[in-house]
Structure 1
């Protein structure tokens, strides 16, 4: 398999990203230029016959099917959207969407069944292994690990993502077996010793920088996915204001959407 590449697409003069790994599916990592459009409107750009699904994102690790979303909404008469941070399809022409600003949008596809998922993976969701939870849902629906393809879209880069050592240790627990989860110092030392570590030093005491997408990549490696099954976008939401909203940069609650449609 060729090394995955990322392409800028254009719709009515507005740019969005696609990944070669997911070339067989209609999908897009949309930029801030599309902020006035809803997931349903974005779906119409990609595939007008598909039905769009989104969630009330809560920084957890719940991954729902469209049927589960509809059941959840029906049981909560005052809620428009079901709470969760990932959606996995079970039928053709289901369009699934997640919103992000600095968190990582993850699109997953099964090249045999055609099923897809969209996942919102911030540091909290990553600490709760939301992407492995999504992979487990694929397997429960009949997928094989070797058939899954994962593309992580634009997110905040580690060079500019400062967090507390406590946060770093919490995320680290998702990839480092630790008998004493409260031993923060030991955990960070182990993390720093990993090949291509997701931990970066920071001059401010008690602070470090982390690469959330690398954490997710390691989680996938630990599940058994090969490097050629995973693509990571070389774009930073914080450092590229011409294309992306960043809460860290602007402190404004604005987002961009990422979505994919099942075959």
Structure 2
């Protein structure tokens, strides 16, 4: 099992994962709200430049250069996307989440990092495989990647429709038949689906689906860590949109290293 550690910055708690030890990183708690990444980067690596996005529940992954180009050529303050991958050292890439899965990835050989926002829609659209494809086009090898999934809503409390389960399931099970996909998901060892007493509903473990996507790419379980915290069930540390219905978030970020 990969270990997770609590740290303090200015008396406030954030989480790190030993799998990402080579990089300054953190899964920050709601206690930091409403601070933004340019300030939170000071906790990780004051010399780094901070990058963030306007997240839209898609699978677009951008580089800092693409973010800068977009902001310089449009009226938008932020680029629309759900993932960032670094291009050079000392780039801090950040995502916000409030039940969706924050995913931080590092490459032990190149030092390159990624930060992704993987809710059920982003997961259905395979945002993690998209990001890894871009990292590979920048010279990464699968064996060198380390993937940490931060605090997110746990399967046992995340009720969704069977249609949503089938949509996300189709990312790992190639079938057009909704019922077949759901049945196949239920039959998987350590299934991402749990039964629900309400008709037409199931409980969905989104992080587990992301793990299955990674395994299909050829990434081993030793390269993946999942935070032992559920945003919905840990109100003392994390905002949960399901719990509060408020547009508040916690930030997760990682700083690229040198080759």
Match of 1:243 in 2: 237
Whole-angstrom distance in 1 between the partners of 2:131 and 2:231: 24
Residue-pair matches, total: 257
Match of 2:63 in 1: 65
* Most deviating of 93-102 and 42-51: 42-51
Q: 1:53 offset after TM fit, Å?
A: 0.2
Structure 1 counterpart SS, 2:225: strand
Match of 1:231 in 2: 225
TM normalised by structure 2 equals 0.98
Deviation digits for residues 188-221 of structure 1, max 9, x if unmatched?
A: 1111111111011000011000000000000000
Whole-angstrom distance in 1 between the partners of 2:253 and 2:10: 18
Whole-angstrom distance in 2 between the partners of 1:64 and 1:46: 21
Q: Which runs of 4+ in 1 moved over 4 A?
A: none
Whole-angstrom distance in 1 between the partners of 2:234 and 2:203: 18
Alignment RMSD, CA only? 0.6
Whole-angstrom distance in 1 between the partners of 2:8 and 2:140: 32
Indicate whether 1:140 and 2:137 are aligned: yes
What residue ranges of structure 1 are gaps of 5+ in the alignment?
none
Whole-angstrom distance in 2 between the partners of 1:21 and 1:71: 32
Structure 1 counterpart SS, 2:143: helix
Indicate whether 1:176 and 2:155 are aligned: no
Match of 2:192 in 1: 198
Deviation digits for residues 87-139 of structure 1, max 9, x if unmatched?
A: 00010000000000000000000001100000000000000000000110110
Deviation digits for residues 170-194 of structure 1, max 9, x if unmatched?
A: 000000021xx2x211111111111
Q: 1:47 offset after TM fit, Å?
A: 0.8
